[in-house]
A and B are shown apart, each in its own frame.
Chain A
Amino acid sequence: MLRLEKRPSPSRVWTAATPVLAVVLTMIAGGVMFALLGKNPFEAIRIIFWDPLFSPQFASYSRPQLLVKAAPLILIAVGLSLGFRAGIWNIGAEGQYIMGAIAGAGVGLAFYPVQAWYVFPLMVLAGGFGGWLWAMIPALLRTRFATSEILVSLLLVYVAQAILASMALGLMRNPEGGGFPGSRNLAQYPAAANLELIVGSGMHWGVVAALIAVIAATILLQRHILGFQIRLAGQAPRAARFAGVSPNRLVVLCLGISGALAGLAGLFEVAGPAGQISIDFGSNYGFTAIIVAFLGRLNPIGILLAGLLMALTYIGGELSQFLLGLPAAAIQAFQGMLLFFLLALDLLSNYRIRWTAWGGR
C-alpha cells in the first residue's frame, strides 16, 4: 500500500516542479472533460493556452488583455500571500477591491470636472485607503474579540456588493446618464483616467503597481525582518512569540497590506478598463487571486507567473466559449482543477511516497 514519509527537509526539486506538473495534469484532466462535452480536446487546449498569445487573428486583441487581467490578480494575490504565509486568512479581497474602487472613484467624481495633476494621485491614495479600511474591520474584530477573519472578511464581500449596487443606483449615478445605473465614465475624464502608458500594450498604472508590489514583497520576504516574522508566525506560532512577534500586530499589518493592495487594484480597474462604478463592477478578481496566490506558492515571483497563467486561462476560456461554444462552467471547472492538482501535488515537496507490502509497518 502507499505510505507517506516526511522528508527531513523540503525538496527543492519538487517545490519547483509541482506547478509545472499541475498545469500538465490539468491539461490532461481538462482535455478529458472537454472530450466528454463533445469538443476536440486538443483544439480546446490550444485555444485556451496558445491562441490568445500567438494566433494572428486574436493575439492583437488578447495580448494587451493579458496584462489588463493579470495586473489586478497579481496585485491582490501578492497582498494575500503575505497574510496566508502568516496564517492570516483574508478571504474577502473581493470586498476590499470593491470598496477601494468606490473610495477612489468617489474622489475622482467629487473633483469632476477639475483638470489638475493631483486628481489621479489622490484617487490612488483613496483607493488604497478604502481597501485598507474595509480590511481593518475583520482585523480589529479578530484582535479585540477573537472572531474568525475568514468569516468576517468573506461576509463583508456581500456587504460591499450591496454598497456597490446602492452607489451605482444612487449617490454615484451619472446625472447625465439618462437615469441608467452607473457612474460617469472615469476613463473619459482625463485627470482621473488610468490610461494605457504605451498605447496598445495593455500596460496601465495597475500593471506598474503590480510589478512594484512583486519586487517589494520579494525584498520584504527575503531581506526584511517583518517578512521573516511573517514566515515564522505561519510556520511556528509559538516560536514566533518567543522571537517577540506580536500576533495581533501581524494580523493588523497583513490584513492592512492585503486590503490596501486589493483597494488599489479596484481603483486602477474602475479608472481604467472598467471606467465606471456599475452594479456588475465586481468581477471576482478578489476570489480568483486566492487561487493565484496558492498557484504561485505564496512566492511573489511565482504569483507573477501564476497571475499571467490565470489571466491566460480567462482570456483563452472566453475565446473557447466564443469559438467552440464551451459552457462557462466548464472553464471554471478547468480553473478549479488547476488549484486542485496544485494543492494535491504540494504534498510531494514535504513527503515522499513509498510503496510497501500489505500489512507492513
Chain B
Amino acid sequence: MAELLRVEGLTKAYPGVVANRDVSFTIKAGEVHALLGENGAGKSTLVKMIYGLVRPDSGRMRLRGADYAPAEPRAARAAGVAMVFQHFSLFEALNVAENVALGMENPPPMGALAARIRQVSDAYGLPLEPGRRLGDLSAGERQRVEIIRCLLQEPKLLIMDEPTSVLTPQEVEILFRTLRQLAAEGTAILYISHKLEEIRALCDTATILRRGKVVAICTPAERSARELAELMVGEALTSPARRDRPQGAVALEVRDLSLPSPIAFGTALAGISFTVRRGAVLGIAGVAGNGQDELLLALSGEIRSAPGSVWVAGADVAQAGPNARRRAGLVTAPEERLGHASAPDMSLVENALLSGAARKGLVARGLIDWPKARDFAEAIVQRFDVRTPGVGVAARALSGGNLQKFVIGREILQDPAVIVVNQPTWGVDAAAAAAIRQALLDLAAAGAAVVCISQDLDELMEIADDFAALNGGRLTPTRPVQGLTIEQIGLMMGGAHGLEAGHHDT
C-alpha cells in the first residue's frame, strides 16, 4: 500500500502540559489506523493538528509526498482530509440535506444534493433519508449525516474521533461495515478510540500514545486486548510502598446505587457498592464518560438516590441535599472547577462561601458573616499557596492550577469526615498536583476517608490504599492496591475480555 500521510516529530505544548512530544507515524492508503490511548494521552491534540485546528510547535507532516501544513480545517478538507467529531455540529430544526449543505464549501442545489445523499447512503449501506428533520434522528443516524457530509467530499483520509461512544451495538456493526468498504476502496481511516476490542476487530495498525508520546506501533489483531491495555496504561507505573495508616470505622458506604444519568449521552450508574473507612484512600479509576461525573453528583447530593444507597458515618444521606451532607461530614470537589466547583465571575470570598457556608458557620440566621468568609478564603489561599493578588479577585482570573488548589483546599479546610474528589489534578502543573495529593494524604492521616476519582493511574497508585474502576456505570469490586499488577489494573479499566478471569485468579 502507498504511503498517504507521514507525521514526523510533531510536538505541541500548552502551558503546564506537553500534549504531544515528538510524535511520528505513517498512515497508508486504504488502511484503518487506530490511535489508541487513555484520556489525556494527546490523541485529540494530534488529530487537531492533522485537521488544521491546532498548529504544531515543531515537526512536519507530508501528505501524498507533498508538504502538508494546514492553517485551518478548510485547507485540510481541500487536501482531502475529513473529520467526524465526537460531538456533532448539526442543527435539529433543519433536515438532513440542509445540514449536509451547511457543512459544504460549494453545496449543489437541494434536489441534486438529496440525490447525491441517497446515492452515497446506498453505496455505503448507511440508510438515511435526506428529507427527514434532524431532531427526529437517533445518535447513530446523526453520525451518518456527519459521515455522509465527509464522504461527499471524497476524502483520502477520514478521521473519526471516538465514533462508537454514542452508538448502539447494531449501529456499530453498520459503521464498521462502511469503514471496511471505504478502506477497501483506498480511503485511509484514522480511528481514535480506547475501546480495545473494537480496535482489534477493525484496525490494521495501531499507534499507541501515552502522555503525549508514541509508545508502540503494532498490529492490533496480533495482540491480545490484555497486551494493548498494558501498552496503553504503560509499564512505568511504580508500585507504591506499603503504607501503614490505621484505618477506623466505616465513614462512607454506598449500597447498590443505581441512577439514570441527568446528562445527555451520560452514563447511568448501575448497582454501585463500596465502603471507605476513616484513614483510607479509595482510588476509582476509569476512562472518562464511564460514570465519574454521575457518581460525584450522586455523592455530593446534587442528585438524590434511593433511600439507603448512601451512608455517611452510619446515617442515611441518600435523600439529603448538598448542605445536609456537608453538615453530616461529606464534602466533594467536582471535576469542572470553573462553573461547577466555583462561580467564574464571583470573588474568592464569595466562592469560599459557596460550599463552606454550612460547615464553617459563615451564615447566622440567614445573614452572611462576610468578615468570617473573607478569613476563610484567606486561610485557603495561605494554606494551599494559591497564587492570587487577593481574595477579592474573580475566580476566572486565577490559573487552572491555582483555582484547583483553591477549590480542593476549600473542602479540605472544612475538616470533613469524608471527601470525594473528581480528577483533582486534571490540567494542573506538577508542583500543584503534588501539593494537592499530599494534602489529600494528610487529610487521610488525620482520620478522614478519601475517595479519589481519577484517570491518572500514577496518581491513584501513589495515594490510594484500595482500588476500583468504573466501567459503563458499574464499579468493579474494590481491591487493595498492594499486590495489584499493572495488567490487572488495565483489565479492570478497559472492560476487555478476560476481566472476569483476572478477578478469579487472585
Contacts and interface: CB of A to CB of B under 8 A. Distances in A.
Contact of B367 (A8, A223, A241): A223
A236 B396 CA distance: 12
Contacts of B472: none
A243 B396 CA distance: 18
A240 B322 CA distance: 10
A10 B355 CA distance: 23
Contacts of A241: 302, 322
Which of B302, B324, B358 neighbours the largest number of chain A CB atoms within 10 Å of its CB?
A: B302
A244 B366 CA distance: 14
A8 B366 contact: no
Given A224-B366, A243-B354, A244-B321, A232 B343 contact: yes
Contacts of B350: 228, 232
A103 B345 CA distance: 41
Contact of B368 (A9, A224, A242): A224
A9 B394 contact: yes
B366 A226 contact: yes
A232 B332 CA distance: 18
Interface in B204-226: none
B322 A238 contact: no
B313 interface: no
B334 interface: yes
B341 A244 contact: no
Contacts of A238: 336, 339-340
Interface string B325-344: 01000001010100111111
Majority SS of interface residues in chain B? mixed
A239 interface: yes
Contact of A244 (B322, B336, B339): B322
Contacts, number: 74
A295 B18 CA distance: 47
B357 interface: yes
B396 A8 contact: yes
B393 interface: yes
Interface string B295-323: 00000111000000000000000000111
B367 A224 contact: yes
A202 to B, nearest CB: 34
B394 A239 contact: no
Majority SS of interface residues in chain A? helix
A248 interface: no
B355 A242 contact: yes
Interface string B393-425: 110110000000000000000000000000000
Contact of A239 (B323, B332, B340): B340
Contact of A225 (B332, B340, B366): B366
Given A9-B393, A244-B301, A244-B321, A239 B358 contact: no
Contacts of A10: 345, 394
Interface in B361-400: 363, 366-368, 370, 393-394, 396-397
A9 B390 CA distance: 13
A242 B322 contact: yes
Contact of A242 (B354, B396, B397): B354
Given A232-B343, A232-B346, A235-B343, A243 B397 contact: no
Contact of B344 (A236, A242, A246): A236
Given A235-B344, A235-B345, A225 B368 contact: yes
Contacts of A228: 350, 353, 368
A57 to B, nearest CB: 49
Nearest to A236: B343
B300 A242 contact: yes
22 contacts: A8-B394, A8-B396, A8-B397, A10-B345, A10-B394, A224-B367, A225-B363, A225-B367, A232-B350, A235-B344, A236-B339, A236-B346, A239-B343, A239-B354, A240-B343, A242-B302, A242-B332, A242-B354, A242-B355, A244-B301, A244-B323, A244-B326
Given A239-B354, A242-B341, 10 more contacts: A224-B366, A225-B367, A225-B368, A232-B354, A235-B346, A236-B339, A241-B322, A242-B332, A242-B354, A243-B354
Interface of B: 300-302, 321-324, 326, 332, 334, 336, 339-346, 350, 353-355, 357-358, 363, 366-368, 370, 393-394, 396-397
Which 7 pairs from chain A and chain B are nearest by CB?
Answer: A244-B322, A244-B323, A236-B343, A8-B397, A238-B340, A9-B394, A239-B343
